[in-house]
Amino acid sequence: MNVVGHGIDLVEVAALRRWIEDPRDPLVPRCFTADELAEIGDGPDRIERIAGRFAAKEAVLKALGTGFGDGVAFKDVVVRRKPGGPPEVVLSGGAALAAQGLGVTGWRLSISHAGGMAIASAIALVDAAHAAVPPAGPR
């Protein structure tokens, strides 16, 4: 596997809480699928989990070089986690098209929370057999 992109994002949990609680901008239903919200669940650390998933979505799109907008929606990036397993990236829509254009065949995603912050790092991988071979330069 070869790395074709890397993205990292840092989210202040308190700032995200204020954004979520702002009735003028319904962040949660705009950014997360019903399945993601069910997996995030409730409880005292719900906001931290939302912040980590939000940072992960941003990191994935940075790895793709797209950001949100121009045909890429927040819900085009879904972050799932099976019990005891690492977080997984599932793309659709514009994000899937961008990944396909880069030849992305896999992801490595890490999410962490500490000190009122959530951070995520996303690495986009391409299969070495399908990686573009750079042209030979002068010797």
9 or 136, which is more confident?
A: 9
| pTM exceeding 0.85 | yes
Reference 111, options 101, 102, 121, 123; nearest CA is: 121
Comparing 22-26, 28-32, 92-96, which segment has the lowest mean pLDDT? 22-26
pLDDT at 132: 55
Q: Measuring CA to CA, which residue among 85, 87, 86, 107 is closest to residue 95? A: 107
Examine residue 7 and state whether it is found in any structural domain, yes or no: yes
- Residue 137 inside a domain? The answer is no
- Report the domain count for the chain: 1
Residue 136 belongs to a domain: no
* Residue 57 and residue 118 in contact, taking contact as beta carbons nearer than 8 Å: no
Q: Is residue 131 part of a domain?
A: no
How many other C-beta atoms can be found within 10 angstroms of the C-beta atom of residue 28? 15
Q: Is residue 51 part of a domain?
A: yes
Let me know if residue 117 belongs to a domain. Answer: yes
- Whether 135 is in a domain gets the answer no
- CATH number of the domain encompassing residue 49: 3.90.470.20
Give residue 136's pLDDT. 46
What is the domain range of residue 103? 2-126
